[in-house]
Amino acid sequence: MKLPKGTRYVQEKADNAVNFINGLCHVHGEWAGKPFNLMKWQEKIVRDIFGTVKADGNRQYNTAFIFTPKKNAKSELAAAVALYLLCADGEYGAEIYGCAADKNQAGIIFKTASQMVRLKPALAKRIKVNDATKRLVYPMMNSFYQVMSADVPSKHGINAHGVIFDELLAQPNRELYDVMTKGAGDARRQPLTFVLSTAGTDKRSICYEVYQKARDILEGRRNDPTFYPVIYGAEQGDDWESEETWKRANPSLGVSITADKLRQAYESAKGNPIEEKLFRQLRLNIWSEDTARWLPIETWHELAEGYDEYDLRGKACYGGLDLSNTTDITAFVLIFPPDKQRDVASNTASPQDNRYKILPYFWIPEANMEKRIKRDHVRYDAWQTNGYIMTTEGSVVHYEAVENFIKDLGQRFEIRQIAMDRWNGTATAQRLERAGFTMIEFGQGFRSMTYPTKELMRLILDKKISHNGNDALNWMLENMVVKTDEAGNVKPDKVKSAEKIDGAVALIMALDIALKGGGEPTGSVYDHRDLLII
């Protein structure tokens, strides 16, 4: 990067910042209470930012962009920088703002900074900590540090000396970043915006825009002498399984993050497309798409067993109902938790009995089957002949037929609960509830879907789930693409999936309530519910 004439490095200014931060204490894990002792890569950042000055003696850099994988101690470094700006930077009336996507995220750095204050007697005497308002006040210089999030109605009119932006990738839009970086510190001699982030998935975001600017500066395609870029991460073509790649991407490896932890994350990601994608994104800092093909289908096929309804009669199970719309596929999937009854002679359970078992059911309208076969290039007629799907009369799926079928299943199995998305099925849910079923409202967002989607993959890879070879369900699972967010949450993506995935969604919903539903029943089905009156 080409710096303006007169720019110079002032050792004393750099030393002041380094010495102040090294005098603080770590606040997390095994390092809590121990001196900060900046790592080499961190010390270089601090020295460059605070030691590089313009001809007038003020800081050369007004913005620092620190881009590293998760767990590389970015937050502690940011908290230390915030405290230096608050009380050791020589700025009277300094206003320091901690910004993030929401108050909880913004509170992470505040909490770290406040703990640093409490662990340092000299600071604890001089800095007032208000946990309720997430504010630090330094009366000696009439300065404060205040948490601010994207959901604050108005951020205009501030006069920032320092802005700490945590996880820029999580910002829902560019509004907060623009307000805090464009004119907010014009009245200050040497304002500093300290931006932290990890790679994400949205390449239209403000984070990707700033990342691209940082990369352009580092690679000589652009020059901005006020912008200080730091990027650690692997490249798309690098070997993600190589420990050399891990070392290059993680500057704190061996200190805040151990090789064992990375190795464990890698072992968990092997063979799992979603976990591999998240490992690349969060551990190696590689930008990725927000959707990914989900299932290694060969592994799924290996889990097929030759059981049928008769083998599972009377057993407890949980259902997932995806009504879709009346002209499309409706799916109902039952999942049976592992049988905990043991063989009396050997006192052991067979491998098959230790697996979750799946029974799927599907419906399409009879009248449009031929059109559907031509449109989807799928032999629905063959699936119907083989019992993999059913049809209802007419050109739409009649929910009444589906409800009656579920009521009949309720006489053969103990259906403890049924999960469904009620946005288009309130009437069906009410009728099934009147028939004696316990209906669970189930959202389709990340909050509801992440846990069971990841657990389903784990059960598949660990071979702790089995199915009866239903070709329609096999097809839907092979079609399924999942969407991920910046936090590593996942959910099925019906829009991006090439074909229908209704059965996969129903299975995930059923698995969630099965995992949360407790152990196997003992005794009769009717010890746990009354007779169903149809």
User: Using an 8 Å Cβ cutoff, are 425 and 506 in contact?
Assistant: no
Q: How far apart are the first and last CA of the chain?
A: 77
Residue 408 has what DSSP assignment? Answer: H
Stretch among 138-142, 187-191, 248-252 having the lowest mean pLDDT: 187-191
Mean pLDDT within 277-305: 84
> How high is the pLDDT of residue 529?
39
Q: Where in the chain is the domain with CATH 3.30.420.240?
A: 297-340+351-518
Strand-pair partners of 317: 415
Report the pLDDT value the prediction gives residue 237, as an integer from 0 to 100.
83
Distance CA 449, CA 188 (A): 47
Helix (H) or strand (E) holding 533: none
How many whole angstroms separate alpha carbon 521 and alpha carbon 527?
Answer: 9
pLDDT digits (tens, 9 = 90+) for 493-513: 887 665 788 999 999 999 999
Q: Kindly report the CATH class assigned to 59-232.
A: alpha beta
Q: Out of 39-53, 198-212, 344-358, give the one with best mean pLDDT.
A: 39-53
Strand partners, 365: 392
pLDDT in tens, 303-338: 999 899 999 999 999 999 998 776 688 999 999 999
User: Rounded to 5 degrees, what angle do the CA atoms 521, 308, 518 make?
Assistant: 20
Q: Where in the chain is the domain with CATH 3.40.50.300?
A: 59-232
- Find, among 367, 360, 370, the residue nearest to 501 by Cα: 360
**What is the average per-residue pLDDT within 441-463?**
92
8 A C-beta contact, residue 523 and residue 316: no
Tell me what pLDDT residue 530 has.
40
* 8 Å CB contact between 348 and 458: no
Residue 421 has what pLDDT? 85
pTM of the predicted model as reported, rounded to 2 decimal places: 0.65
pLDDT of residue 350: 54
Side chain identity, residue 136: L
CATH code of the domain occupying 297-340+351-518: 3.30.420.240
> Looking at residue 417, what is its pLDDT?
96
One-letter amino acid for residue 122 of the chain: A
Looking at residue 326, its pLDDT comes to 63
Rounded to whole angstroms, the Cα distance separating 89 from 143 reads 11
Residue 181 — very low, low, confident or very high, per pLDDT cuts 50/70/90?
confident
Of 21-25, 323-327, 455-459, the poorest mean pLDDT is in 323-327
What is the token pair recorded at 518? 């407790």
Cα angle vertex 170, ends 165, 176, to 5°?
50
Residue 97 structure tokens: 């703002």
Integer CA distances (angstroms), 414 to 38, 188, 318, 473, in order: 60, 70, 8, 22
6: left (phi over 0), alpha (psi -120 to 50) or beta: left
Q: Write out the two tokens for 439.
A: 């209906």
Starting at the edge strand that comes first in sequence, how are the strands of the sheet with 291-293 ordered? 291-293, 481-484, 490-492
78-107 pLDDT tens trace:
999 999 999 999 999 999 999 988 878 878
DSSP classification of residue 98: E
Note the pLDDT of residue 351.
Answer: 53
